[in-house]
Structure 1
Amino acid sequence: MKNLILLFSVLCISVASKAQDVKTICNNINTLNTAILNGSIKRQDAAAQFKPLIEQLKKVADKSSSSGWTFPLKGYKSNAIGGTNGNGYSDKGYHYLDGNKHAAHPAHDIFINDRNQDCLDDRTHQPVDVLAVGDGIVIACINEWAPSSNLRGGKFIWVYHPAQNIFTYYAHNQVIFVKPGDEVKQGQKIAEVGRTGYNAYKKRSPTHLHFSAFHLVDDLLVPYNPYLQLKKAKTI
């Protein structure tokens, strides 16, 4: 019995230590991501710091995962994606290390029914939940934004999905319910749709979620078009 208790104690300590490692790594990534957005770090230095952090995260992350994707907006499906057949996506000229300064749109804008721009669904009169498309770990987010800010993503979330070794990005949120280091499950509510962000805040912009997906090339984030995955995603 004593041996079983000792083994259980060792396992608990190991799990707690791993969770703390994940949290520390994600907080470091979050700090670096903020510096990249602010332009307060040189691209070469940012790359040199980003790569080992990602390698550390890959080593400690749980790679078990659910299959497929859940559509990132509760109560909506792929016909809410802007453009025609996903043609709103354009990653030409995008580089993650450029931070807040780029002209590309490596994303799909997913629009909600919100004619009066109060961030509530016109049918339900409730906020629209933003859902994690798959199991993952929150590596960066910002839950504060002011209209005077030029930050394009507003209140955003980055999630790493270890099983697929990809990242997803959710921007313009009204409120965020996660923090760096949190593990999230497929379909879990992580935010509510909003109008935060330099352009999204303006009246000319319909209320939407800005959704992107990235894979790793030489341990740096490179966007890819997730349109087909969104089309096949199950809805909630």
Structure 2
Amino acid sequence: MKKLLLLFIAVLFTSPLFAQDTRSVCIKINELNSRVLNGTVKRADAAKQFKTLINQLSKMMHAPGTSEPWTFPLQGYKTNAIGGTNGNGYSDKGYNYLDGNKHTAHPAHDIFIHDKDQDGIDDKTGKAVDVLAVTDGVVIACTNQWQPASTMRGGKFIWVYHPEGFISYYAHNRAIFVQPGDEVKQGQKIAEVGRTGFNAYKKRSPTHLHFSAFHIKDGLPVPFNPYRQLVKSTAQ
């Protein structure tokens, strides 16, 4: 019976109608997220709209949870690349999703690459470093546009919703390779590490991936510290 249920879910998730419906919702989330970042939507309206859209998506994406370890989000790197001591660079105090680009917290782990000359290329391999999806999910927001004069701190970023009920966030990329509504598999390349973003672009900032994770509480993203999951993750 369990095998039949899993087969039914697999068929449902790969059907053209399902893909079309999820992409439509994800595009709406992406548009709303842009308005939140730009401060062009009232907080109450944004909260109501996000809650409605993420609830629709969660019903579409409902699937049995997985106990599999995450994939570490940087190709060729391990947890010792995480900044700080034992992940103490994480601080979510005062974070509110509705603050958009104006929030003052750092609910994230910065994962640094070998890049002394700050050209976005790994000093050891001579190549860009791939950003990987930590587990299966669907892209709900992203942008591949950013200019040095921009005050947007995330630069070129990606939000991925996972059926287990959380969102992962990957920021400061040099290039992204997904769009809202794209399904991604665990370990799939979704971007390359870069230096985009208001603070990350500056010389004082070593090249890194800004990685965050959020639970959905009362319909909105609320950060949680993913250090334990990162430590247990599998390097590629």
CA RMSD of aligned residues (A): 1.3
* Rg larger for: 1
CA distance in 1, matches of 2:133, 2:216: 19
CA distance in 2, matches of 1:160, 1:65: 13
Q: Is the 8 A contact 1:23 1:180 kept in 2?
A: yes
CA distance in 2, matches of 1:18, 1:171: 28
Q: Deviations over 1:147-184 (max 9, x none)?
A: 0100000000000011x200000000000000000000
CA distance in 2, matches of 1:166, 1:194: 24
Q: Deviations over 1:116-170 (max 9, x none)?
A: 00100000000000000000000000100000100000000000011x2000000
Q: Which residue of 1 aligns with 2:50?
A: 50
Q: Deviations over 1:189-235 (max 9, x none)?
A: 00000000000000000000000000011111000000010001000
CA distance in 1, matches of 2:64, 2:233: 19
- Alpha-carbon deviation of 1:63? 2.1
Give the TM-score of the pair, scaled to structure 1: 0.93
Q: Is the 8 A contact 1:65 1:134 kept in 2?
A: no
Q: Deviations over 1:71-116 (max 9, x none)?
A: 0000000000000011000000000010000110000000000000
Residue identity (%): 67
Q: Deviations over 1:53-72 (max 9, x none)?
A: 01110111152566220000
Segments of 4+ in structure 1 off by > 6 A?
none
CA distance in 1, matches of 2:122, 2:17: 42
**Aligned partner of 2:49: which letter?**
Q
1:40 aligns with 2:61: no
Moved more, 65-74 or 210-219: 65-74
**Alignment partner of 2:173: what SS?**
strand
Give the TM-score of the pair, scaled to structure 2: 0.93
CA distance in 1, matches of 2:167, 2:159: 7
Q: Which residue of 2 aligns with 1:4?
A: none
CA distance in 2, matches of 1:28, 1:64: 25
Q: Which residue of 2 aligns with 1:131?
A: 132
**Alignment partner of 1:186: what SS?**
coil
**Aligned partner of 1:136: which letter?**
G
Map 1:63-142 to 2 at 5 A: 63=63, 67-142=68-143
Map 1:1-236 to 2 at 5 A: 15-61=15-61, 63=63, 67-162=68-163, 164-236=164-236
